């Protein structure tokens, strides 16, 4: 467990590690033993250190934008997966959640631009964070889902190679049947989850930009009057 704790110190932000890593490792060395509780504590500490770092950094508000998008994507995807084929997977539901995300991101973008001279800089920070948080898993999920769907056509048994073999045929057939089942599952839900993330990402980022622009326009208008 101690080794695991030591490895997990690398999860802390670089600035934190520069300042505390040596003494933190000394502390772990002093402790007689460590359990899963300590491992969990180190993991939680790393998360909190990152959250503190991000929140206090120049991109603190953009971090909030990315977090709002991320949570919305998770909730949307979770409801899509667990909600069956009813209202949760309907286009109306996607529309409502997309509208909620865009509204929240618009407000956050508006607030972010208040602290900055450049809306472009403000929004690019949000975009960068949102991209790193969501784009990669969303694209991977969707790519795999589409690949599985295109390959999901079942192979007729009589065309199956080695079907008459003593052992290989039935084993391969069973494997193919199970693989086909998993392919269908992934093709169905993977795309739904990927789409949820993508919708939240695109709508949220666009609205964060628009919120920032609104702030800039408002500030210029008020500045002229002043």
Instruction: Please give the residues from 62 up to 121 whose contact with other proteins meets the rule CB under 8 A.
Output: none
Segment contacting other proteins (CB under 8 A): 18-26, 114-122, 154-162, 203-211?
Answer: 18-26
Cα–Cα distance, 111 to 195 (Å, whole number): 28
Residue 20 binds to other proteins (criterion: CB under 8 A): yes
Among 18, 44, 174, 220, binds other proteins (CB under 8 A): 44
**Residue 57: other Cβ atoms inside 10 A:** 14
Residue 1 binds to other proteins (criterion: CB under 8 A): no
Among 26, 92, 222, 225, binds other proteins (CB under 8 A): 26
Residue 24 binds to other proteins (criterion: CB under 8 A): yes
The SS3 call for residue 133 is: helix
Q: Measured from the CB atom, is 25 or 120 closer to other proteins?
A: 25
Cα–Cα distances in angstroms (integers) from residue 215 to residues 26, 52, 115, in the given order: 49, 26, 10
**Residue 38: other Cβ atoms inside 10 A:** 17
CB 8 within 8 A of CB 41: no
CA atoms within 13 A on the CB side of 190: 18
Segment contacting other proteins (CB under 8 A): 24-32, 83-91, 137-145, 197-205?
Answer: 24-32
Among 1, 38, 79, 172, binds other proteins (CB under 8 A): 38
Give the helix/strand (H/E) hosting 184.
helix 168-225
Segment contacting other proteins (CB under 8 A): 38-46, 73-81, 158-166, 188-196?
Answer: 38-46
Residue 23 binds to other proteins (criterion: CB under 8 A): yes
Among 42, 66, 105, 112, binds other proteins (CB under 8 A): 42
Cα–Cα distance, 40 to 38 (Å, whole number): 5
Binding positions for other proteins, rule: CB under 8 A: 5, 16, 19-20, 22-24, 26-28, 30-31, 34, 37-38, 40-46, 48-49, 52
């Amino acid at each position: 467990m101690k080794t695991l704790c030591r490895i997990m110190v690398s999860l802390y932000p670089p600035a934190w590690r520069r300042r505390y890593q040596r003494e933190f490792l000394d502390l772990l060395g002093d402790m007689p033993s460590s359990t899963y509780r300590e491992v969990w504590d180190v993991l939680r500490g790393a998360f909190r250190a990152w959250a503190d770092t991000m929140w206090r950094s120049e991109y603190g508000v953009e971090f909030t934008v990315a977090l709002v998008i991320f949570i919305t994507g998770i909730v949307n995807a979770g409801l899509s997966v667990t909600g069956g084929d009813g209202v949760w997977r309907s286009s109306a539901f996607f529309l409502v959640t997309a509208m909620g995300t865009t509204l929240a991101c618009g407000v956050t973008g508006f607030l972010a631009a208040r602290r900055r001279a450049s809306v472009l800089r403000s929004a690019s920070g949000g975009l960068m964070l949102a991209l790193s948080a969501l784009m990669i898993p969303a694209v991977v999920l969707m790519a795999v889902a589409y690949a599985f769907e295109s390959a999901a056509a079942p192979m007729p048994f009589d065309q199956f190679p080695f079907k008459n073999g003593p052992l290989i045929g039935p084993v391969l057939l069973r494997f193919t049947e199970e693989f086909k089942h998993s392919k269908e599952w992934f093709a169905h839900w993977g795309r739904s989850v990927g789409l949820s993330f993508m919708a939240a990402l695109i709508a949220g980022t666009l609205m964060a930009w628009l919120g920032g622009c609104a702030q800039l326009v408002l500030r210029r208008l008020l500045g002229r009057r002043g």
